[in-house]
Amino acid sequence: MKRKILVTGASGLIGSALVPMLMGQGHSVARLVRPKSKGVNGPESLLKTIRWDPAKGFEDPSVIDGTDAVVHLAGESIAGLWTKGKRRRIRESRVVGTRTLAETLARLPRPPRVLVCASAVGFYGDRGSEVLQETSPPGTGFFPDVCQEWEAAALPAHEAGIRVVWTRHAIVLSRKGGALASMLGPFRAGMGGKLGNGEQYFPWVSLDDVVGTIDLALVDEKLTGPINVAAPQEVTNAQFVRTLGNVLKRPTPFHIPGGILKLLPGGMGREALLASVRVAPARLQQMGYEFKFPELENTIRFEIGRLKTSGKRVRPY
């Protein structure tokens, strides 16, 4: 069934992979952008653009009335030093924008059937070796608090009868952006290494499986609530570093002591770099979702263009 789908964050790492897939399926896709957003290139430039203010909403909400589904991906990147201003932007871009969108959708005469709202495995906080499923309670700290507020901000849509799915993303691996892209330069230069003792669990997922999960959330009407979007293969930071070094055929001799990382402002080192989050994709596995990239080494090889299938480099989307 072809649908009208609204996407926020359409030009981001996930959105720029999701939009072409949705368009390829024949859906009508529109992107929701802030008033001062610049134009984009690629498939997103072909989309209908609807402008809104995440703090104030829409001048005319009727422009999104009759939308079948909404995918909400927009939010300030957590990369960069967590200064006071950065922490404020991280929180407000997620909580305020999500609440404004959810309240607007709830008031529409013809609301969408589903809202897929991004979240993060940072919801669970630093939990050591505890296996974390969707039923696990939230952690404590700045980012777990943000994630709880972020998800709660979508409740007006749920209370209005809209099916809401929270996709709790692990660290998304892609050569086009995010953590892996930022690591490739230093690791290729032989300057890679573990963070702290390297024993903290490092939750990861391929970009293709993030897109696949969002697609599943859009079409499966029985699916509601949180989903852990993380690969089934669990690795620690040290194992991730070793795997990336092996794929690139580079040594990984460097080590940044945890004590130094804890000095980073705003708790960034403790929560973003040293936290151990052992996430299990329990609901996806229960539903029989087949991961396109369940193993870390193949994911990295594929993303840097060294994994070949039948002699050809391919992408699922």
Q: What is the mean pLDDT of the chain?
A: 92
Distance CA 250, CA 290 (A): 32
What pLDDT does residue 311 have?
A: 45
CATH code of the region 4-172+203-232+277-292: 3.40.50.720
pLDDT band at 182 (very low <50, low <70, confident <90, very high): very high
113: left (phi over 0), alpha (psi -120 to 50) or beta: alpha
Distance CA 261, CA 83 (A): 15
H helix intervals, 160-293: 178-188, 207-219, 237-248, 258-261, 268, 282-286
Summarize pLDDT for 65-87 with one digit per residue, the tens. Answer: 999 999 999 999 999 999 999 99
What pLDDT does residue 70 have?
A: 98
Summarize pLDDT for 20-39 with one digit per residue, the tens. Answer: 999 999 999 999 998 765 55
What pLDDT does residue 316 have?
A: 42
- Is the pLDDT at 314 greater than 70, yes or no? no
Which sequence spans correspond to the domains of the chain? 4-172+203-232+277-292
Q: Which two tokens stand for residue 277?
A: 């989050």
Nearest to 141 by CA among 82, 200, 198, 85: 82
Residue with tokens 């589904």: 69
128: left (phi over 0), alpha (psi -120 to 50) or beta: left
Summarize pLDDT for 248-293 with one digit per residue, the tens. Answer: 999 999 999 999 999 999 999 999 999 999 999 999 999 999 999 9
Summarize pLDDT for 196-248 with one digit per residue, the tens. Answer: 999 999 999 999 999 999 999 999 999 999 999 999 999 999 999 999 999 99
Distances in Å between the alpha carbon of 164 and those of 4, 93, 223, 227, 241?
17, 19, 8, 11, 36
Helix axis angle, 178-188 to 237-248, nearest 10°: 60
AA identity, residue 125: G
Distance CA 17, CA 59 (A): 29
